[in-house]
Amino acid sequence: MAETSRSTVFGRRKEPHTVIIARGDHIRHFQVRPWVVALAGSAFAAMAIGYLLATSYLVFRDDLIDATSARQARLQQAYEDRISALRAQVDRITSRQMLDQQLMETKVGELLERQTQLTQRHGRLGPILDRAEAEAATLPPAAPLPPHKPDVRAESAGRSPDFSLASAATTPFSFWSTRNSEAPGETSADRADRLFVAINLSLRTIESEQLTRINTLAEDAYQTADAISNVLEDAGLPVDIDDGKSGIGGPLVTISNPALFDTKVKELDEALDLLDRMKSEARRLPIANPSPGHSVSSTFGVRKDPLLGSPAMHSGIDFRAPMGSDARVTAAGTVVTAGWNGGYGRMVEVQHAGGFTTRYGHLSKVLVKKGQQVSAGAVVGKVGSSGRSTGPHLHYEVRRNGDALNPVRFLKAGKKVSQYL
């Protein structure tokens, strides 16, 4: 390789590198360009770098593989842990949903059972309440029932209560759950639970109102029967009624609602039966007024005889009634005498239950016949002055087994009892 420099007009020019190869007689030479040198150097550098990288890879390959495997294992473990956590959460949610569903089904079943009981009770209460109301219509006003709560306005006759969430929000006690107040994040199950609480309390209120109503009606019936009995006993009139009560007692032991309801209904039925028997017994007695609206002019007992002026026994009472006024029978019975009867003049005698008889004397006209059945209040004749009499009036007697009794006792008892009949 030789380098020559030549002088030129523009100065020295650098000769390119020349490579000479001699082989025997053959000589070859070629010039090496700078870019060829650069290319060769670059190729050599690349090969060197590649060799170094390959050597490094071969040296550190196991470590890289182990690190990669560990990283993949960590990622897989984290993924599996996440999957397990999600599965556990899904299981919890599913379990809660199943529990809520079972709870809902239980609550719905209980509500349906309660509704069925209320429907059956209403069917049983219908006739007996109608009977009790019919009896109560003839009685003095009873004490009013306790006022209802504002959120429940259902009558025991069957009106539907207000099952709103607004009423459930103010509920102080939950039958199934303690979730009563609406809280942030409340679920539909929570709201449904509060609704069931409100419905349950409303049904309980209806049941309580039914029992309260039954108790009130039974108490009113017993009080009325006792009042009738007391009036008749105070008047000395016989009352032969078995009220079904006896000397019993013991500690109070509560029972279930169905049994309690049946007991209360039976008690009301017995009270109404007792009241009916007492009314029937009272109607059998001659306690009505034979001449309504007219005053008594002569009482029962010893008096001055109006014709002779000497003391004499007056076996009845006289009503100051005008000629032709109605003489009404004071109780149902059978006519045993209808016509003229000595000093009584025209007289009607009626046989009643319990050995009682009533007599209506000094009539101007008799309107019934012997053997005829008459009801209380029926007109048996017209007031007159026949027989041993000084003027128009109605002579009225009450006898039992032939013995004369003071009719005033019967009239006073009838006046007191009339408000219950």
The lowest-confidence range among 4-18, 51-65, 280-294, 396-410 is: 4-18
CA gap 134, 143 in Å, rounded: 17
Domain presence at residue 70? no
Tell me the residue range of the domain where 304 lies. Answer: 296-417
Stretch 26-45: mean pLDDT: 82
pLDDT on residue 240:
64
Domain presence at residue 219? yes
Nearest residue to 255 via CA among 263, 266, 267, 247: 263
pLDDT on residue 46:
92
Domain presence at residue 143? yes
Residues 258 and 377 in one domain: no
Residues 310 and 280 in one domain: no
Residues 319 and 347 in one domain: yes
Domain presence at residue 47? no
Q: Which two tokens stand for residue 291?
A: 């001449």
Residues 380 and 406 in one domain: yes
Q: Is residue 331 a contact partner of residue 396, using CB atoms and an 8 Å limit?
A: no
Domain presence at residue 313? yes
CA gap 156, 146 in Å, rounded: 14
The residue with greater pLDDT, 205 or 85, is 85
Percent of the chain at pLDDT > 70 equals 71
Highest mean pLDDT among 54-58, 124-128, 133-137, 160-164: 54-58
Question: Mean pLDDT over all residues of the chain?
Answer: 76
The lowest-confidence range among 22-26, 108-112, 266-270, 319-323 is: 108-112
Q: Which two tokens stand for residue 44?
A: 């050599």
Domain presence at residue 113? no
Question: Distances from the Cα of 111 to the Cαs of 75, 105, 179, in angstroms?
Answer: 53, 10, 18
Residues 203 and 258 in one domain: yes
Q: Which two tokens stand for residue 191?
A: 């709201």
Residues 280 and 302 in one domain: no
Q: How many domains does the chain have?
A: 2
Residues 141 and 275 in one domain: yes
The answer to pTM > 0.85 is no
Stretch 158-185: mean pLDDT: 43
Domain presence at residue 190? yes
Residues 370 and 305 in one domain: yes
Residues 267 and 127 in one domain: yes
Domain presence at residue 407? yes
Q: What is the dihedral of CA 380, 382, 387, 391, to 10 degrees?
A: 140
Sign of CA dihedral 371, 373, 377, 379: negative
Residues 197 and 126 in one domain: yes
The residue with greater pLDDT, 61 or 114, is 61
- What is the chain's Cα-based Rg? 58
The residue with greater pLDDT, 286 or 248, is 286
**Which CATH number does the domain housing residue 306 bear?**
2.70.70.10
154 pLDDT exceeds 80?
A: no
Model pLDDT for residues 195-230, shown as the tens digit of each residue: 777 777 777 777 787 788 888 888 888 888 888 888
Which uninterrupted H or E stretch holds 18? Answer: strand 17-23
- In terms of DSSP H, where are the helices of 19-145? 34-137
Could you say which of 233, 261, 284 is where a domain stops? 284
Residues 278 and 300 in one domain: no
Residues 274 and 354 in one domain: no
pLDDT on residue 390:
86
